[in-house]
Amino acid sequence: MGGIISKKILLRAILAAFVVGTILTLLNQGDLLISGELNSSLYWKIPLTYVVPFLVTIWGALGRD
């Protein structure tokens, strides 16, 4: 018996998180990353930038009837 989330949905969510998370990180934090001026807030902002599209993709896929 399979889990709630299929392998296909999980792979789609990982890909969406990678693509969207990278684009948003570069748009929102790119200047700080390039200049090397990293601050402590980036340690939670950047991971959340990847987690959000991952969760949205899974939520959208599970919400289909």
Give the number of residues written for the chain. 65
Q: Supply the pTM of this predicted model.
A: 0.85
> Which tens digits make up the pLDDT trace of 3-58?
778 999 999 999 999 999 999 999 999 999 999 988 998 999 999 999 999 999 99
* CA 21 and chain centroid, separation: 4
Instruction: With CA atoms as reference, report the closest residue to 5 among 64, 65, 58.
Output: 58
pLDDT of residue 1: 41
Q: Which two tokens stand for residue 63?
A: 């919400």
